[in-house]
């Protein structure tokens, strides 16, 4: 700015002040206003996620035509890519999957597909003819040791899986990546290749023999092997479905039409491959007819695609849940006595999600309550002197009577803190059930889809809170009386209680309760800290 312009500016200011004030020594000041800072703290959590995929290039299929008395190696190649987005490492387990159920006698055999199906090819080292001359097949794995994130091939008592090895009959660790994060648009993860070999005996029957090997990624690499699903006594698959998560509003009516009322079918939970009995019951809905046995993990990515969360009343919206606590599997002291009343700091009403897996135990199906040791033992139970109760538990049995897991209410509704839910009959409408399945309603709910509506169809007397047919647990409902858990297992064979997503009050939630005397109460409230059972109904 030049001097002439400055003069004009000053004159203009002076002229503009004439007549505004009679005070002398007028001073013009600009006022600066200050305020507290506003700071946005941004926090974005990326959940742990793992993936594994297998690719067979054209021409590398696991098929071969092999003459009697002949050995052939390198039958096909599958390239398996595995990736986790954290630094904890992971392991890969393998198991023979040729039979109908994992871990069964035929799981590691190649089974004939025609009239000569009784002929089988067992697993072995697939080298040459032995004594006796027996057909056998084997698996072999390889990895790229020069890769940025290589896998290490495991060894066991039979040798390394990098050489031809028998197919394991139980989940066996075959490869490990100890650590290393491979992320970004060019992430490739670790690569494992599989191939197979077989020797065909001189007398092996002509046929086509087929088998499977299943590979499972386990994260983190902490030595925890996958669990072989409980053998199911429901032998018929739901028509055209494999997983519980596959059932949805688009195909539900077709699936219902294909099912016979009260007949037992099975479906798998895609989250852990466990198999469950399901049935179309008299209310026209598809129910689980055995207790949920899902072990909650703090590292699993629970999303609206695999778990019953994010329901908006008509469909699922994108959401996720990271569990605060994993399922307890050992010990009786880990279940927190404070979880239904206060946290460790004495703040009332903080409810942790807690769950307990008692193992592969079954109620033995005896529909009676024994109040003395003699009758209890005679019925196949064990007597609990401290409580004067008969626990009718077996280590094997009908899948319907598998005890399953015990969940407190926060775990059942897949929520880390349920303290804010205090209004009676408030409905969370979310659960630990698989996606497209949910907890049935309770607490004076009488509409189709509630416990009360269901038991009414099977002869519930609402005035007496009993069943016209007291053997509710032996009908299609199969309400295994698995008792409850609160730091110890209580009253197996005497009662069972199944959570609903409905609030009782600040300390309670509603459930269905059934006991060995025929009593059934679909509006009973339980303390949220108690470990009850979960049965799911298809949405």
| Domain spans of the chain, in order of start | 50-218, 229-539
Please tell me the predicted confidence (pLDDT) of residue 470.
63
C-alpha pair distances (Å), 55 with each of 11, 52, 60, 192, 193: 85, 10, 10, 11, 9
Mean pLDDT of 136-160: 87
Question: Picking from 4-8, 181-185, 254-258, which range would have the lowest pLDDT averaged per residue?
Answer: 4-8
Place of tokens 């778990």: 307
CA–CA separation, 162 and 155 (whole Å):
8
Backbone φ and ψ for 170, nearest 5 degrees, come out as -135, 165
192 DSSP 8-state letter: E
316 DSSP 8-state letter: B
CB 310 within 8 A of CB 319: yes
Question: Picking from 108-122, 180-194, 375-389, which range would have the lowest pLDDT averaged per residue?
Answer: 180-194
Burial classification of residue 460, based on how many CB atoms lie within 10 Å of its CB (0-12 exposed, 13-18 middle, 19 or more buried): buried
CA–CA separation, 366 and 286 (whole Å):
26
Please tell me the predicted confidence (pLDDT) of residue 230.
58
CB 485 within 8 A of CB 356: yes
CA–CA separation, 149 and 2 (whole Å):
69
Say if residue 343's pLDDT is above 50: no
C-alpha pair distances (Å), 278 with each of 45, 354, 400, 454, 469: 37, 25, 9, 15, 21
CB 207 within 8 A of CB 113: yes
Say if residue 427's pLDDT is above 70: yes
Say if residue 294's pLDDT is above 90: yes
C-alpha pair distances (Å), 49 with each of 150, 299, 321, 366, 436: 19, 8, 13, 44, 22
Q: Which of 262, 292, 94 is nearest to 194 (CA)?
A: 94
CB 104 within 8 A of CB 214: no
Strands 120-123 and 110-112: antiparallel
Determine what percent of the chain is predicted with pLDDT higher than 70.
84
What SS3 class is residue 14?
A: helix
446 DSSP 8-state letter: -
Mean pLDDT of 504-521: 87
CA–CA separation, 539 and 537 (whole Å):
6
Report angle CA 215, 276, 280 to the nearest 5 degrees.
Answer: 140
Task: Please report which confidence band the pLDDT of residue 9 belongs to, taking 50, 70 and 90 as the band edges.
Answer: very low
Please tell me the predicted confidence (pLDDT) of residue 370.
80
Q: Which residues pair with 176 in a beta bridge?
A: 91, 152
CA 331 to chain centre: 22
Q: Which of 268, 271, 280, 267 is nearest to 238 (CA)?
A: 267
Query: What sign results for the dihedral spanned by CA atoms 409, 412, 418, 422?
Result: negative
Tell me: the pLDDT tens digits for 63-78? 999 999 999 999 999 9
Task: Please report which confidence band the pLDDT of residue 10 belongs to, taking 50, 70 and 90 as the band edges.
Answer: very low
Q: Is the pTM of this model over 0.75?
A: no
Select 50-218's CATH number: 1.10.10, 2.60.40, 3.30.70, 3.30.1920.
2.60.40
Task: Please report which confidence band the pLDDT of residue 27 belongs to, taking 50, 70 and 90 as the band edges.
Answer: low
**What value does the mean pLDDT of the chain take?**
84
Please tell me the predicted confidence (pLDDT) of residue 464.
83
What Rg value do the Cα atoms of the chain yield, rounded?
A: 32
Q: Which two tokens stand for residue 409?
A: 């209410």
CA–CA separation, 528 and 496 (whole Å):
15
């Amino acid at each position: 700015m030049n001097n002439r312009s400055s003069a004009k500016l000053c004159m203009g200011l002076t002229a503009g002040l004439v007549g505004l004030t009679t005070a002398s020594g007028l001073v013009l000041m600009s006022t600066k206003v200050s305020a507290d800072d506003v700071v946005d703290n941004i926090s974005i959590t990326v959940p742990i996620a793992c993936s594994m995929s297998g690719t067979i290039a054209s021409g590398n299929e696991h098929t071969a035509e092999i003459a009697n008395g002949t050995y052939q190696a390198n039958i096909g190649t599958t390239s398996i890519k595995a990736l986790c987005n954290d630094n904890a490492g992971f392991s890969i387990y393998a198991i023979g999957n040729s039979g109908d159920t994992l871990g069964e006698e035929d799981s590691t055999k190649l089974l004939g597909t025609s009239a000569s199906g009784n002929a089988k090819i067992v697993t072995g080292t697939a080298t040459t003819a032995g004594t006796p001359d027996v057909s056998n097949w084997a698996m072999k794995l390889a990895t790229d040791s020069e890769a940025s994130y290589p896998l290490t091939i495991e060894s066991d008592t039979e040798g390394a899986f990098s050489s031809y090895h028998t197919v394991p009959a139980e989940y066996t660790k075959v490869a490990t990546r100890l650590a290393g994060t491979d992320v970004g648009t060019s992430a490739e993860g670790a690569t494992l290749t599989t191939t197979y070999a077989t020797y065909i005996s001189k007398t092996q029957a002509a046929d086509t023999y087929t088998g499977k090997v299943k590979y499972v990624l386990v994260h983190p690499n902490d030595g925890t092997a996958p669990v072989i699903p409980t053998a199911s006594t429901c032998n018929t698959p739901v028509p055209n479905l494999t997983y519980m998560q596959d059932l949805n509003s688009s195909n539900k009516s077709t699936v219902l039409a294909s099912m016979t009322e009260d007949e037992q079918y099975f479906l798998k939970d895609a989250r852990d491959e466990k198999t469950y009995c399901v049935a179309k019951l008299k209310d026209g809905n598809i129910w689980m007819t055995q207790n949920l046995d899902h072990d909650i993990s703090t590292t699993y990515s629970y999303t609206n695609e695999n778990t019953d969360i994010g329901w908006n009343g008509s469909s699922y919206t994108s959401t996720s849940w990271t569990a605060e606590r994993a399922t307890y599997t050992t010990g009786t002291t880990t279940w927190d006595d404070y979880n239904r009343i206060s946290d460790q700091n004495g703040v009332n009403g903080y409810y942790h999600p807690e769950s307990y897996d008692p193992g592969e135990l079954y109620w033995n199906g005896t529909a009676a309550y024994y109040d003395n040791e003699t009758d209890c033992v005679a019925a196949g139970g064990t007597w609990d002197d401290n409580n004067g109760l008969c626990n009718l538990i077996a280590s094997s049995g009908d899948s319907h009577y598998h005890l399953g897991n015990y969940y407190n209410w926060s775990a059942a509704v897949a929520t880390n803190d349920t303290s804010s839910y205090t209004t009676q009959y408030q409905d969370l409408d979310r659960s630990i059930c698989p996606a497209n399945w949910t907890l049935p309603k309770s607490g004076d709910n009488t509409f189709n889809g509630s416990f009360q509506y269901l038991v009414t169809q099977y002869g519930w007397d609402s005035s007496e809170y009993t069943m016209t047919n007291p053997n509710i647990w032996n009908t299609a409902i199969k309400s295994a009386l698995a008792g409850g858990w609160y730091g110890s297992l209580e009253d197996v064979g005497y009662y069972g209680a199944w959570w609903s997503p409905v609030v009782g009050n600040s300390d309670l939630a509603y459930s269905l309760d059934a006991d060995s005397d025929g009593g059934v109460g679909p509006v009973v409230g339980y303390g949220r800290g108690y470990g009850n059972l979960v049965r799911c109904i298809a949405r």
